[in-house]
Amino acid sequence: MHIVYLGLGTNLGNKEENIHAAVENINRKIGKIISLSSFYETEPWGFSSENMFLNAAICVQTDLSPTEVLHTTQEIEKITGRTQKTKNHIYHDRIIDIDLLLYDSLTIQTTELTIPHPLMTQRPFVMIPLAEIAPDIIHPVFHKKLKEFL
């Protein structure tokens, strides 16, 4: 079994309901939920929007490969109602966004997937909930505890 950390975000519709629906789907399709952070209201990052975000982080135990986790999170985004994916760092409002942040202590870089998530340490809306549930996890590239990034 593998330990995976995912970032969750939403800024459209019933935000708490969107996150809970994503968590339920993650539990059914990816694996057992180990922990879920508090929900944090945050400003949009990388684009302008009138809609505030609700963000959280989740830890999941899975037997899926990193690529299978990625494809499954994309499937969950679609069934939850997400219609646009970020391309070329152009961000949009979204019903749900699920980012694969960490997978065990692996580092992976392919055209489809980069682990750890390359922007996670630059995003307080990712690091605050992630450090809440995994403060002592060591970042596999920077070799620092997650809580040290705060």
pLDDT digits (tens, 9 = 90+) for 80-100: 876 655 554 556 788 999 999
What is the rounded average pLDDT of the residues 11-33? Answer: 96
What residues have CB less than 8 Å from 42, skipping those under 6 apart?
Answer: 52, 53, 54, 55, 124, 125
Structure tokens at 60: 């999941």
Query: Kindly report the CA angle at 6 between 66 and 121, in degrees rounded to 5?
Result: 105
* Model confidence, pTM: 0.92
- To the query of whether residue 97 is one of the catalytic residues in this protein, the response is yes
Structure confidence by residue, pLDDT tens digits, 106-141: 999 999 999 999 999 999 999 999 999 999 999 999
- To the query of whether residue 123 is one of the catalytic residues in this protein, the response is no
What residues have CB less than 8 Å from 82, skipping those under 6 apart?
Answer: 94, 95, 96, 97
Catalytic site residue from 28, 82, 93, 123: 82
CA-to-CA distance for 66 and 9, rounded, in angstroms? 20
- To the query of whether residue 93 is one of the catalytic residues in this protein, the response is no
- To the query of whether residue 28 is one of the catalytic residues in this protein, the response is no
